[in-house]
Structure 1
Amino acid sequence: MELNNKFENHKDYIRKYRYYEKKDLIRIRRKVNRLYFHKGLSKRKIADRVGMSREFVNKWTQSKDQDMKKDERGWPKGQRRKWTGKTEKRITQIRSYLEENEKEFYWGATAIAQQWHRRFPEENVPPLRTIGQILKDLELSDPPVSGKGAAKYLCYPEHTIYETLSSRLLETDFVGQKYLRGRTEPLHFIGFCFKKKPKLRIYRRINGQTTENLNTQWERFFDRYEKPDYVKVDNAAATIGSMSGKRNVSRAMIFLLEKQIYPIFSVPRKPFSQASIEGNNSVFAKKFWNARQFDSVEDVDQQLEWFNKASLRYSGYKPPEVGAKFELNITVVPFFLNIRHWSHLSKA
């Protein structure tokens, strides 16, 4: 009900906004015409002064008596070119349903388009851009969050990996410790994602950030979804092995290599070089952990199952067809980082 009232109120707001926008545009047209015919400025200087294109200046300097209120839109003012008020009401209703349904976690343009297709399979789905614009006009979309952006010099891992490797690459990452009210022990989660189509976002609750749990979750993921060609991970103890002992090939890496999967490490201590999985972790926090109330660990598991199902619907994930695959011929070669390790090897 609240969203429907908001919809009606904003119809008047949109009409007023478009009226003043049109009025301002007419003022600019008149200024362009006056600068050209009365001030004698060149069209290039006029375009620079008013901040409009040369095409705009040419269009509105045809004659001194030109009609500045001429409208060539081809449809009534104050209305959308193609999509009517019925479309706006449907989008409002669908968004209200998605936001109020406890089993739904996404209510942006993509989720609305998917729900539209389920409800009205015989009708054309509005473009995502149209849905997004309607949500913005009704102030039902989240404002964009401006950030500093990733360091340019660290863009090379993403470009090299995703533009030169044509095979499937899975990103895996532990989520930071989470706490329930009244419980002292933290909860641990692990996330998996495919950045390229078919896209996938899945999270599981685990007992701890250990190599055993990591290998177990990988095994389950490969059996249930698909086995990738590459796995990208960060430099956690569970992936690289002992932090204090001699350098060696960790059990997690041996697990992947035995399955003919190449491991790829992100840049140490630079999480934004693993942008895809970190972005999914942000979605996990925003849509799941920070957006919900949990009564118990069992409730967390139940709602996490809903979140994973909603994520699968949202991404439309389907495992790629299994075909003939190139078998990787992997040879494990030890690599030592300093002379001390080499001296130990020489004495052995």
Structure 2
Amino acid sequence: MEDELILRQQAVEQYLKGIAVSDIAQKLGRSRQWVHKWITRYGQGGLDTWYLSKSTAPKQTHNKISPKVEELVINVRKTLAGRRYSQTGALSIMYEIKRLGLKPPSIPTINRILKRNNLINTSIVKQKKGIKYPNYFTLVQQMDLVGPRYLSGGSRFYFQNIIDIENHHVGVYPIKDKSSQTIAQRLAQFWTIYGIPDYLQMDNELSFRGSNRYPRSFGIVIRLALSQGVTPIFIPPSEPWRNGVIEKFNSNLAKYFFSAQMFTSYEDLEKKTLEFADFHNQNHRYSIQGGKTPNQIKSISEEYKLGHINMKDPISMVDGSVIFIRFIRSDRKLSILQTSFIVKKELIYTYVIAEIVVDQHVLLVKQDCYIHHVFPFVMPVD
């Protein structure tokens, strides 16, 4: 760049000595237009820096964010961050500015302000690219366990979280152990208050399935679901992002609730957990829902709420299905409940639905609604 500045000055010096423009251009290895440009720039006068390049940026930036708007967004974000359980994303900031009676900037503008001030936390979600995943189920609730966590003094507990993926209504339950009986009781509690889905999606936690000693004898969680006409779905092992809605909520629970306060006792934890769940359902907004909160979206009707059920009584196996979504690798093995099956070559490197039809004692291997295999799958009789 320094050589370029010297050439500009030499071009004008030679012009002032009476040398022709064409000769200057040939000598300096530049075009005649280039020489005329810098002669004109010199002739405009007024500055000793005529040979320096001028900025090519627009003279006016029409979408420049005003300092007042930027300050407003930052201050509202700080206010929300200091308010227990509140979200701090662009959508929540926009609605808070509206609540204050002010006109908010657009969501992209708020995001630009947050990014410029390092106020955005980003996370990367793993996906298997280019491989079709069977994700077409409707009226689904996702359930997950978080923990163990510890109270001061060393008392251990877990969070059992349930969320309706249609409207993000949640139930959050601290539990002292993760036995199948405890988990089933909290699940029944959620269904009594909120309602029963068509599908209950979970990871492969042993407490959800049953027993490794008797792998084909389903535990109380699956039995409770089947007794209410709910189809359990188990996502592929080691792919927690397939339960993405509940995983995202788990992160928010840690961020907005557990890391933000101390608990004096297990009873205090239970009380504050209920407060957080109520606050979430009433106030947390989701862009996928048009900015509405879970309580603003119609919930499951009263007729689909669970009636009284005695969880101490045994729950018999009834008709229904249990679904396992599995990825088939090059060995063609489909592993379900400690039993392996060999499937067709054409299913290699694809996801399949392995559906156990309880009353028929068969395992259906399906893909795109087409049944590729029917395997016998004998199960214990009550």
Instruction: Give the TM-score range, shorter chain.
Output: 0.5 to 0.7
Equivalences for residues 139-150 of structure 1 within 5 A: 139=118, 141-145=119-123, 147=124, 149-150=126-127
Equivalent of 2:244, from 258, 262, 275?
Answer: 275
What whole-Å deviation, never above 9, does each CA across 1:13-41 have from its counterpart, x for those lacking one? xxxxxxxxxxxxxxxxxxxxxxxx96xxx
How many residue pairs align between the two structures? 260
Are the equivalent residues in 1 in contact too, given 2:217–2:380 (CA < 8 A)? Answer: no
Alpha-carbon offset, residue 190 of structure 1: 0.5
What corresponds to 2:69 in structure 1?
87
TM-score by length of 2: 0.58
Equivalent of 1:309, from 278, 286, 292?
Answer: 278
Give the CA RMSD over aligned residues.
Answer: 3.6
Alpha-carbon offset, residue 236 of structure 1: 2.0
What whole-Å deviation, never above 9, does each CA across 1:97-124 have from its counterpart, x for those lacking one? 21222x234212122122223222xx54
Is the alpha carbon distance of 1:71 and 1:223 closer, same or farther for their aligned partners in structure 2, counting shifts above 3 Å?
same
Alpha-carbon offset, residue 177 of structure 1: 0.4
Is the alpha carbon distance of 1:68 and 1:177 closer, same or farther for their aligned partners in structure 2, counting shifts above 3 Å?
closer
Q: Do residues 213 (structure 1) and 194 (structure 2) align?
A: no
Alpha-carbon offset, residue 201 of structure 1: 3.8
Q: Do residues 187 (structure 1) and 157 (structure 2) align?
A: yes
Equivalent of 1:174, from 145, 148, 173?
Answer: 145
Is the alpha carbon distance of 1:188 and 1:341 closer, same or farther for their aligned partners in structure 2, counting shifts above 3 Å?
same
Equivalent of 2:358, from 321, 324, 332?
Answer: 332
Normalized per residue, the structure richer in helix is: 1
- The separation in 1 between residues aligned to 2:191 and 2:97, in whole angstroms, is 33
Report percent identity of matched pairs: 21
Alpha-carbon offset, residue 173 of structure 1: 0.8
- The separation in 2 between residues aligned to 1:180 and 1:285, in whole angstroms, is 14
- The separation in 1 between residues aligned to 2:192 and 2:72, in whole angstroms, is 40
Q: Which AA in structure 2 matches 1:71?
A: P
Are the equivalent residues in 1 in contact too, given 2:160–2:172 (CA < 8 A)? Answer: yes
Structure 1 runs of 4+ aligned residues shifted over 6 Å read none
Q: Do residues 100 (structure 1) and 71 (structure 2) align?
A: no
Are the equivalent residues in 1 in contact too, given 2:160–2:175 (CA < 8 A)? Answer: yes
What corresponds to 1:127 in structure 2?
106
What corresponds to 1:286 in structure 2?
255
Q: Which AA in structure 2 matches 1:217?
A: R
Is the alpha carbon distance of 1:108 and 1:182 closer, same or farther for their aligned partners in structure 2, counting shifts above 3 Å?
same
Q: Which AA in structure 2 matches 1:230?
A: Y
Are the equivalent residues in 2 in contact too, given 1:202–1:311 (CA < 8 A)? Answer: no
Of stretches 278-287 and 235-244 in structure 1, the one that deviates more from structure 2 is 278-287
Q: Which AA in structure 1 matches 2:276?
A: F
Q: Which AA in structure 1 matches 2:264?
A: D
**SS of residue matched to 1:129:** helix
Equivalences for residues 3-22 of structure 1 within 5 A: none
- The separation in 2 between residues aligned to 1:90 and 1:306, in whole angstroms, is 29
Alpha-carbon offset, residue 224 of structure 1: 2.1
Q: Which AA in structure 2 matches 1:190?
A: Q
Alpha-carbon offset, residue 171 of structure 1: 0.4
- The separation in 2 between residues aligned to 1:219 and 1:307, in whole angstroms, is 20
Are the equivalent residues in 1 in contact too, given 2:85–2:280 (CA < 8 A)? Answer: no
Is the alpha carbon distance of 1:324 and 1:308 closer, same or farther for their aligned partners in structure 2, counting shifts above 3 Å?
closer
**SS of residue matched to 1:175:** strand
What corresponds to 1:160 in structure 2?
134
Q: Do residues 116 (structure 1) and 77 (structure 2) align?
A: no
- The separation in 1 between residues aligned to 2:88 and 2:149, in whole angstroms, is 25
What whole-Å deviation, never above 9, does each CA across 1:77-97 have from its counterpart, x for those lacking one? 4x745x644332322222222
Q: Which AA in structure 1 matches 2:88?
A: W
Structure 1's unaligned 5+ residue stretches are 1-36, 39-66
Is the alpha carbon distance of 1:321 and 1:262 closer, same or farther for their aligned partners in structure 2, counting shifts above 3 Å?
closer
Normalized per residue, the structure richer in strand is: 2
Is the alpha carbon distance of 1:340 and 1:110 closer, same or farther for their aligned partners in structure 2, counting shifts above 3 Å?
closer
Is the alpha carbon distance of 1:244 and 1:152 closer, same or farther for their aligned partners in structure 2, counting shifts above 3 Å?
farther
Are the equivalent residues in 2 in contact too, given 1:110–1:314 (CA < 8 A)? Answer: no
- The separation in 1 between residues aligned to 2:196 and 2:125, in whole angstroms, is 35
- The separation in 2 between residues aligned to 1:295 and 1:345, in whole angstroms, is 46
